[in-house]
Structure 1
Amino acid sequence: MLNTMRKYASGWVAQIFIVLLIVSFGVWGVAGALTGIGGNYVAQVGSTEISAVSFDRAYRRELQNLSRQLGQQVTPDQARAFGLPNQVLGRLVTEAALDDQANTLSLGVSQDTLVREIAHDPAFNGPSGTFDRAYFVELLRSNGLNEDDYVLERQAVEKRKQIADSISGGATVPVALSQALHTYQTQARTIRYIVMPTTLVTDVAAPNQDELTAYYNDNKANWRAPELRTISILKMTPADVSRPEDITDADAQKYYDANAAQFTTPETRHVFQFVFTDASTAKATADQIKGGETFEAALTAAGKQISDADLGVVTKDKLIDPAVADAAFALAPNATSDVIAGSFGPVIVHVTDVSPASVKPFDSVKDEIKKTLALTAARNDMANLRDSIEDARAGGATLDEIAKNNKLTVQTISVDQSGKDASGNAVADIPVQAALLKAAFESDVGIDNAALQTDDGGTVWFNVTDISPAHDRPLDEVKDKVAAAWTKATIADRLAAKAKEAKERLAKGETLDAVAASFNLPVVTAQKLTRGTKPPADLSVDALKAAFAGPVGTAAAVPGPNDGDQIVLQVEAIDDTPYLANDASRAALTQQLADAMQNDLLQQYVTELQNELGATVNQTKLQQVIGAS
């Protein structure tokens, strides 16, 4: 329950309020003591009261936190479904119990201590990394608090902290526990094993009628036919109602002319760029290339490689420097430019692999354009079509009649709740499958069902036209499946018996090598396995657990990773890692154990404190606050 509290209270203000609270007391044992209390209070613990204002403020804050986490506004009904009111009340009751005890013990917090704790709270650090008063005030305001209210609440938190520290603050992990956990986590074992496949069992004959009937009766539920529902489905998406044939060639031509770039593949060139630090060197290099030296040779002479100048195969718009782009796309293939005044200095450009621009002719894209225009028109008209169909349904029209009038198709399927047909095969192309099956199996024959929405803006209407109840299939109908299952189970049983016999042979002193040889199987060795090791592919999780079930020499027979296989293993060696009390790598785990112990101590203390003080809840006032929030 603590995890639940933390989940719904991740904001920094909420974290301050639950900093030391270990148990949610939404079910804190006072349900039988809900005696009425008067006044404007939601609950009372001992002599400490929880006002309706305090509960309302805390509840609204948690409601806002939850809404932020879910990315949508949570309604009061949803909050109750989450159990939020009980969580908030439980936290406030716990705080009240500690506050009451703090008052009884006359605990206090000095102003200097309070100021220091607030000033050193990292939640209030500004850009400089230190306490920022302006940020502090703004943060309080954004969470519906003022300074006075926050200081009082922080003062109460510090008092509760004094109690918690005195109860559990000094708890440390016993060395014996730490050692035991260390051994459990780090102990490594070497095992030798054989994998016994189902092919070792070869003498299983077909079952006789009595065996078949007995197995069928013992496992009848395995062949039970699930409830099937016949569902008529009318789906209308933009693609379903678009009519490309209604788009004229003239309209398609108009779209083609207005979107010429969409059908044009721009020219590409493989461009190389040689950048210089000064114009004189650039000109000298350009003259050498004009004199017959290759571009690559010029690069090599300058201590560069061709890859250093490679800009890749690009379109003109991909070149950042306009001067370079203009020059590169003005050159003939395999030509080199004169010196260009580039943005980053003098440049010489070389071009290869020129692919001219190409334009798809209208006739080759006409059908594609018509589909696009028809789909756009259908999307724009979807709302009117949806309303028209809803009106027709309200007027008593059937889905078949509606489909005919709108040139749509009714899909009829017979499925179980998981989307499979009577033979157990998945039914394809069920629109909005999860939502439709859920709604269909909550409906009935003759019921008008609410329409469902598709991800692409479409709508699905459906009717349940027939229900076939779940029933036991007769043996004659599933005889082949029952026979196959009996054979598989019989092989598994006999193989398990062989594995058990092999284990018993090991227990009597026979070696694993001798046992393996009798089955003509190899012996596999797995070294340095720990409890957290992922088993090898041919070793099951059950086998890994069995390997840690006893001392050296322990033997076991367990199921293998493949269906029906068995593993027979024997522990060959055990390696224990020495325990070092000051091992830094174990510090985090030791701290987790210490925190858990401290939490347990504090939980026990708070539980006993509440039992001693007693708690009463004003349910009338509580429901008023929840309903108003």
Structure 2
Amino acid sequence: MLNTMRKYAAGWVAQILLGLLVLSFAAWGIADVFTGVGNHSVARVGATDISSVNYDRAYRRELQAMSQRVGQQITPDQAKMLGIPNQVLGRLVTEAALDDQATNLGIGVSREMLIREIAQDPAFKGAGGTFDRNYFVSLLRNNGMTEDAYVLDRLAQEKRQQIAESISGGATAPEALAKALHAFQTEQRDIHYLVLPASSVGEIAAPNADELTAYYNDNKGNWRAPETRTISLIALGPEDVARPGDISDADAQKAYDADKARYTTPETRHVFQAVFTDETSAQTAADQLKAGESFESMLEGIGKKLSDSDLGVVTKDKLIDPKVAEAAFALPANGSSDVVMGSFGPVVVHVTDVVPATVTAFETVKDAIKKELSLSSAKADINVLRDSIEDARAGGGTLDEIATNNKLTVKKIVVDQTGNDAAGNPFADIPAQAQLLKDAFASDIGIDNAAIPTDDGGYVWFSITDINEAHDRALDEVKDKVIEAWKKQATTDKLVAKAKEAKDQLGKGQTLEAVATSLGLPVQTLDKQTRSSKPADSFSTEALKAAFAGPKGSAEVAPGAQDGEHIVLQVADVIETPYTPATDNAAVTQQLADAMQNDLLQQYVSELQRQLGVTVNQNVLQQIISAI
């Protein structure tokens, strides 16, 4: 809500331009280090401090806003990855620079103007559409801000806005630039083209020994073997310590009886419901059904279809009206009820298919129940065994010794940092894979590594027993792959040459249709394409870009949409849209003006920060970030 208040509080110039400034600042970072900043300040710009309290409040507010936008809670680690701490600091530093300059320039805001701006703020309008003081105070309180604090914050915003508007508020885009952008965005082209498939160059013979060796030497890095590590590990999970055999039949029966609904498939019925406007009409219909008339025939007599009354195949709990549910599940198959005074008026219920409830016998699920119970109790056993293993490791025990003493298994895997084996295939079933690989490739032979928790409540202990450094594979190891790559490259080279030959023929005056006939290919067309058009399935983004590289009649060659294809195209027509600045180009002009205004303000604030000096207390900053 405070973000909404800020949005209404500041003018459009400050909102557009300061927002972009924050992103720019976050990208640049802050070069200066902490010198002379107070112990309770995160940063200082000139003579203006950014207090730890203000940064903490702004950072928490940003985390909350981001969490609401993505629909889940953003963790501190995710916030760091997204650069939120620097973004918040960047915004506060930008504001502090403008605040310091406002003080130096003696910029002020009258009391009357401040009152008027707050009173006219849409964020504080009540139900009557005017400023509501009670709502104003309540809104601030809900956002952890006092009235005095908000007024001071608003006063500072108004001063910053004055500086922003005085620097860049009146900047407008030159008409020549607007015309050029308009032409670039709206120009349309009709394109005729051919798609040359890889098959059009025929079968490519395998390379001879010299060609293969030369190609391998030129592209040796493509087949370089990554570093692999041999990891010995013990994975301890609930299933490793669970003992289903220790669970008695009596305990399993008790669990079965306590959760019998889980093993019961409830009765279902196909239910139909005829709703009437009055009880007399409903009773007449019920009497007709008792006399032997079919339910469908009765419905036809009152102008309804069977589908209109179909409630579907349902369990009892799925029927909204309790009285209808009771009636429907008391009827025999193909039976009809008396008049039921339901929640929506008098109804007559009819039931067709009835599937009785079924209960899975205890003997059928006994073993599964014992396994579940043992897994549940295994979590406590895991912690006991974990402590025992840690004690053994502290005493110098090896993983093999620990595994033998605790009836566990040591698993050895040879993987690279991405989890592939030496042949480049994904290694299956690596416990806690992401964390294990990260820790393993940060470790070394002989290092005592910390246990890694797993999602199921278990742990993984590991050690590095061998490291195979990254190296070039010998040609014999990858010969088949090198041959395949050579043939693919040879096919591409021939295809490009064939496409360029077709382009040259167009340059000599042949028509695209004649070239297409000689190649046995169809001519395809795309009309009214702009630079931002989404290419057709047979047309690539590279080809669309090439189509705008030359004038009408020009021909170009580009990679195709599918691997192994190439496109030969010709620009059939160029359509330009007239420039009318007063109407449909207002958005373009405003887009350019906003960009120019941001550039001006960005340069101003950048120079302002350089002159004033920016210092950051990294200790306080990291303390705040780590505390959340």
Scaled to the shorter chain, the TM-score interval is 0.7 to 0.9
Q: How far did residue 34 of structure 1 move?
A: 8.9
Deviations 1:563-598 (A, max 9, x none): 3322111111112233333435x5444433322222
Task: Supply the distance in 1 between the matched residues of 2:499 and 2:124 (Cα, whole angstroms).
Answer: 66
Deviations 1:88-138 (A, max 9, x none): 6632442135314531xxx43222211111112233344555433234334
Question: In the alignment, which residue of structure 2 is the partner of 1:508?
Answer: 508
Question: In the alignment, which residue of structure 1 is the partner of 2:597?
Answer: 598
Question: In the alignment, which residue of structure 2 is the partner of 1:484?
Answer: 484
Q: Does 1:460 align with 2:460?
A: yes
Question: In the alignment, which residue of structure 2 is the partner of 1:319?
Answer: 319
Residues 516 and 522 of structure 1 are in contact (CA less than 8 Å); yes or no, is this contact kept in structure 2? yes
Q: Of the candidates 35, 49, 52, which is equivalent to residue 56 of structure 1?
A: 52
Q: How far did residue 221 of structure 1 move?
A: 0.7
**1:367-386 equivalence runs, <5 A:** 367-386=367-386
Letter in 2 for 1:215: Y
Q: CA RMSD in A?
A: 3.3
- Per the alignment, in what secondary structure is the counterpart of residue 465 of structure 2? strand
Task: Supply the distance in 2 between the matched residues of 1:623 and 1:414 (Cα, whole angstroms).
Answer: 41
Q: Does 1:65 align with 2:68?
A: no
Q: How far did residue 608 of structure 1 move?
A: 4.8
Task: Supply the distance in 2 between the matched residues of 1:14 and 1:83 (Cα, whole angstroms).
Answer: 21
Residues 43 and 615 of structure 1 are in contact (CA less than 8 Å); yes or no, is this contact kept in structure 2? no
Task: Supply the distance in 2 between the matched residues of 1:609 and 1:626 (Cα, whole angstroms).
Answer: 23
Question: In the alignment, which residue of structure 1 is the partner of 2:358?
Answer: 358
Task: Supply the distance in 1 between the matched residues of 2:161 and 2:322 (Cα, whole angstroms).
Answer: 67
Letter in 2 for 1:386: R
Q: Does 1:290 align with 2:290?
A: yes
Q: Percent identity?
A: 57
Q: How far did residue 226 of structure 1 move?
A: 0.9
Compared with structure 1, are the counterparts of its residues 227 and 572 closer, same or farther at alpha carbon in structure 2 (3 Å cutoff)? same
Task: Supply the distance in 2 between the matched residues of 1:367 and 1:600 (Cα, whole angstroms).
Answer: 71
Residues 109 and 155 of structure 1 are in contact (CA less than 8 Å); yes or no, is this contact kept in structure 2? yes
Residues 192 and 524 of structure 1 are in contact (CA less than 8 Å); yes or no, is this contact kept in structure 2? yes
Letter in 1 for 2:334: N
Question: In the alignment, which residue of structure 2 is the partner of 1:95?
Answer: 98
Task: Supply the distance in 1 between the matched residues of 2:612 and 2:183 (Cα, whole angstroms).
Answer: 45
Residues 206 and 483 of structure 1 are in contact (CA less than 8 Å); yes or no, is this contact kept in structure 2? yes
Q: Give unmatched runs, 5+ long, in structure 1.
A: 1-8
Question: In the alignment, which residue of structure 1 is the partner of 2:329?
Answer: 329
Q: How far did residue 10 of structure 1 move?
A: 5.6
Residues 225 and 473 of structure 2 are in contact (CA less than 8 Å); yes or no, is this contact kept in structure 1? yes
Compared with structure 1, are the counterparts of its residues 382 and 11 closer, same or farther at alpha carbon in structure 2 (3 Å cutoff)? farther
Q: How far did residue 555 of structure 1 move?
A: 0.8
Question: In the alignment, which residue of structure 1 is the partner of 2:400?
Answer: 400
- Per the alignment, in what secondary structure is the counterpart of residue 51 of structure 2? helix
Greater mean alpha carbon deviation, residues 115-124 or residues 194-203: 194-203
- Report the TM-score when normalising by structure 1: 0.87
- Report the TM-score when normalising by structure 2: 0.87
Residues 554 and 570 of structure 2 are in contact (CA less than 8 Å); yes or no, is this contact kept in structure 1? yes
Q: How far did residue 362 of structure 1 move?
A: 2.1
Compared with structure 1, are the counterparts of its residues 177 and 610 closer, same or farther at alpha carbon in structure 2 (3 Å cutoff)? same
Task: Supply the distance in 2 between the matched residues of 1:93 and 1:602 (Cα, whole angstroms).
Answer: 15
Greater mean alpha carbon deviation, residues 396-405 or residues 222-231: 396-405
Question: In the alignment, which residue of structure 2 is the partner of 1:560?
Answer: 560
Letter in 2 for 1:469: E
Compared with structure 1, are the counterparts of its residues 550 and 82 closer, same or farther at alpha carbon in structure 2 (3 Å cutoff)? same
Letter in 1 for 2:101: L
Q: How far did residue 450 of structure 1 move?
A: 1.7
Corresponding pairs, count:
607
Residues 59 and 88 of structure 1 are in contact (CA less than 8 Å); yes or no, is this contact kept in structure 2? no
Question: In the alignment, which residue of structure 2 is the partner of 1:494?
Answer: 494
Task: Supply the distance in 2 between the matched residues of 1:455 and 1:39 (Cα, whole angstroms).
Answer: 41
Residues 43 and 617 of structure 1 are in contact (CA less than 8 Å); yes or no, is this contact kept in structure 2? yes
Q: Does 1:310 align with 2:313?
A: no
Q: How far did residue 212 of structure 1 move?
A: 1.8
Task: Supply the distance in 2 between the matched residues of 1:429 and 1:33 (Cα, whole angstroms).
Answer: 46
Deviations 1:136-165 (A, max 9, x none): 334445656543443344233323322332
Question: In the alignment, which residue of structure 1 is the partner of 2:434?
Answer: 434
Residues 37 and 617 of structure 1 are in contact (CA less than 8 Å); yes or no, is this contact kept in structure 2? no
- Per the alignment, in what secondary structure is the counterpart of residue 522 of structure 1? coil
Q: How far did residue 227 of structure 1 move?
A: 0.6
Q: How far did residue 229 of structure 1 move?
A: 0.6
Q: Give unmatched runs, 5+ long, in structure 2.
A: 68-72
Compared with structure 1, are the counterparts of its residues 121 and 419 closer, same or farther at alpha carbon in structure 2 (3 Å cutoff)? same
Residues 453 and 459 of structure 2 are in contact (CA less than 8 Å); yes or no, is this contact kept in structure 1? yes
Compared with structure 1, are the counterparts of its residues 233 and 40 closer, same or farther at alpha carbon in structure 2 (3 Å cutoff)? closer
Deviations 1:430-476 (A, max 9, x none): 12222211111111112122222222322222221111111111222
Greater mean alpha carbon deviation, residues 248-257 or residues 78-87: 78-87
Residues 27 and 90 of structure 1 are in contact (CA less than 8 Å); yes or no, is this contact kept in structure 2? no
- Per the alignment, in what secondary structure is the counterpart of residue 531 of structure 2? coil
Task: Supply the distance in 2 between the matched residues of 1:525 and 1:98 (Cα, whole angstroms).
Answer: 60
Residues 95 and 160 of structure 2 are in contact (CA less than 8 Å); yes or no, is this contact kept in structure 1? no
Question: In the alignment, which residue of structure 2 is the partner of 1:5?
Answer: none
Residues 201 and 491 of structure 1 are in contact (CA less than 8 Å); yes or no, is this contact kept in structure 2? yes
Task: Supply the distance in 2 between the matched residues of 1:39 and 1:346 (Cα, whole angstroms).
Answer: 77
Compared with structure 1, are the counterparts of its residues 329 and 551 closer, same or farther at alpha carbon in structure 2 (3 Å cutoff)? same
Task: Supply the distance in 2 between the matched residues of 1:273 and 1:236 (Cα, whole angstroms).
Answer: 57
Letter in 1 for 2:90: Q
Q: How far did residue 240 of structure 1 move?
A: 3.5
- Per the alignment, in what secondary structure is the counterpart of residue 177 of structure 2? helix
Greater mean alpha carbon deviation, residues 232-241 or residues 63-72: 63-72
Deviations 1:485-526 (A, max 9, x none): 222212221221222222122112122222222322222222
Residues 109 and 158 of structure 2 are in contact (CA less than 8 Å); yes or no, is this contact kept in structure 1? yes
Task: Supply the distance in 1 between the matched residues of 2:180 and 2:613 (Cα, whole angstroms).
Answer: 44
Compared with structure 1, are the counterparts of its residues 29 and 61 closer, same or farther at alpha carbon in structure 2 (3 Å cutoff)? closer
Greater mean alpha carbon deviation, residues 319-328 or residues 330-339: 319-328
